[in-house]
């Protein structure tokens, strides 16, 4: 009987965890680039009361008799499903159509995000709302990528050269401006995207960003539309992928699960009370 009491406790604890995740999803329903999370349960070790037996002479085999000891959280997944872009008309707003993450640098630390609400700071660098620098590749005067000795593009912060006006970013991530002297269009920068072998292995670190873990794999940098990197949608922002209908349904199921587990505890308590009263 005490097993049911502790099973009910594990049910309460883990349904509370699931409600915490649902609450955070709903709170971020309008957060740019937010990816919702889900909780998956699994059972805990089962106590074997009687092991299985094999077929004998004149009798068949029997199945094992086991009593489960409750529930635990198997995983809390981040669902990296695509969501709808919202048109803003801002030339520096970007969303990614496909796989990949914008690469951000702050105090020498790299992070990754799907939120493309970028700005130009006082020093003419492209930054996000937290002041982190958007990463890209260095380009030469012809707009071609500059390669290092190993043949790889050279990473750099995106600099919006003030010698150019009407600066915009195209779907391939090229930063294009018009020279104030010649009035000729010129590629002055190249935005890079990062992809990972296991995006679900990325760790949320707040401020709409992720960081690499041992299970995500290392970043692979691309120009948008090359390799597995998606293209950019200029003038748009990726909305949250939270589905309120699904979240409200999960909330109801989780609430009922919590109530059912609390009923297990109260019912077990009543049974224990009956046992105590038997000896009075």
Question: What confidence tens digit (pLDDT) does each residue in 186-224 have?
Answer: 999 999 999 999 999 999 998 999 999 999 999 999 999
Q: Would you say 103 and 196 are in contact if contact means Cβ atoms under 8 Å apart? A: no
Alpha-carbon gap, residue 90 to 160, rounded angstroms: 15
| Residue 265 pLDDT greater than 80, yes or no | yes
Strands (E), 208-261: 209-211, 220-222, 231-234, 236-238
- On the 0-12 / 13-18 / 19+ scale of CB atoms within 10 A, 94 is buried
Span 15-38, pLDDT tens digits: 999 999 999 999 999 999 999 999
The residue count for the chain:
280
Alpha-carbon gap, residue 33 to 18, rounded angstroms: 22
Among 172, 185, 181, 183, CA closest to 142: 185
Alpha-carbon gap, residue 241 to 119, rounded angstroms: 23
Strands 101-106 and 193-195, how do they pair? antiparallel
| Residue 229 pLDDT greater than 90, yes or no | no
Minimum mean pLDDT range among 117-121, 201-205, 254-258, 273-277: 273-277
> Helix, strand or coil for residue 259?
helix
- Cβ neighbour number for residue 224 with a 10 Å cutoff: 26
- pLDDT band at residue 280, thresholds of 50, 70 and 90? low
Among 116, 33, 93, CA closest to 235: 93
| Residue 1 pLDDT greater than 80, yes or no | no
Q: Would you say 229 and 98 are in contact if contact means Cβ atoms under 8 Å apart? A: yes
> Helix, strand or coil for residue 229?
coil
Q: Would you say 191 and 224 are in contact if contact means Cβ atoms under 8 Å apart? A: yes
- On the 0-12 / 13-18 / 19+ scale of CB atoms within 10 A, 88 is middle
Average pLDDT estimate for 71-84: 92
74 membership: H or E segment, kind and range: strand 71-78
> Helix, strand or coil for residue 163?
coil
Task: Report yes or no on whether pTM surpasses 0.75.
Answer: yes
- Cβ neighbour number for residue 75 with a 10 Å cutoff: 11
Q: Would you say 208 and 114 are in contact if contact means Cβ atoms under 8 Å apart? A: yes
Average pLDDT estimate for 102-125: 95
């Amino acid at each position: 009987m005490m097993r049911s009491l502790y099973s009910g406790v594990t049910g309460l604890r883990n349904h509370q965890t699931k409600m915490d995740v649902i609450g955070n999803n709903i709170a971020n329903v309008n957060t740019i680039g937010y990816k919702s999370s889900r909780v998956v349960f699994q059972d805990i070790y089962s106590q074997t009361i009687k092991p299985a037996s094999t077929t004998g002479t004149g009798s068949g085999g029997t199945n094992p008799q086991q009593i489960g000891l409750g529930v635990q959280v198997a995983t809390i997944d981040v669902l990296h499903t695509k969501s709808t872009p919202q048109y803003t008309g801002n030339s520096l707003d970007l969303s990614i159509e496909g796989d990949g993450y914008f690469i951000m640098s702050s105090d020498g630390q790299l992070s990754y995000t799907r939120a493309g609400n970028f700005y130009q700071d006082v020093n003419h660098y492209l930054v996000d709302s937290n002041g982190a620098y958007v990463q890209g590749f260095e380009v030469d005067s012809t707009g071609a990528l500059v390669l290092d000795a190993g043949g790889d593009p050279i990473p750099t912060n995106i600099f919006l050269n003030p010698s150019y006006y009407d600066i915009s970013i195209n779907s391939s991530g090229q930063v294009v401006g018009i020279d104030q002297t010649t009035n000729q269009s010129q590629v002055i920068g190249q935005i890079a995207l990062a992809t990972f072998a296991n995006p679900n292995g990325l760790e949320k670190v707040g401020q709409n960003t992720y960081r690499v873990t041992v299970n995500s794999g290392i970043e692979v940098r691309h120009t948008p539309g090359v390799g597995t990197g998606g293209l950019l949608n200029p003038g748009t922002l990726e909305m949250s992928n939270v589905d309120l209908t699904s979240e409200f349904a999960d909330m109801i199921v989780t609430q009922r699960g919590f109530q059912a587990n609390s009923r297990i505890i109260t019912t077990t308590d009543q049974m224990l009370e009956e046992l105590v009263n038997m000896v009075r």
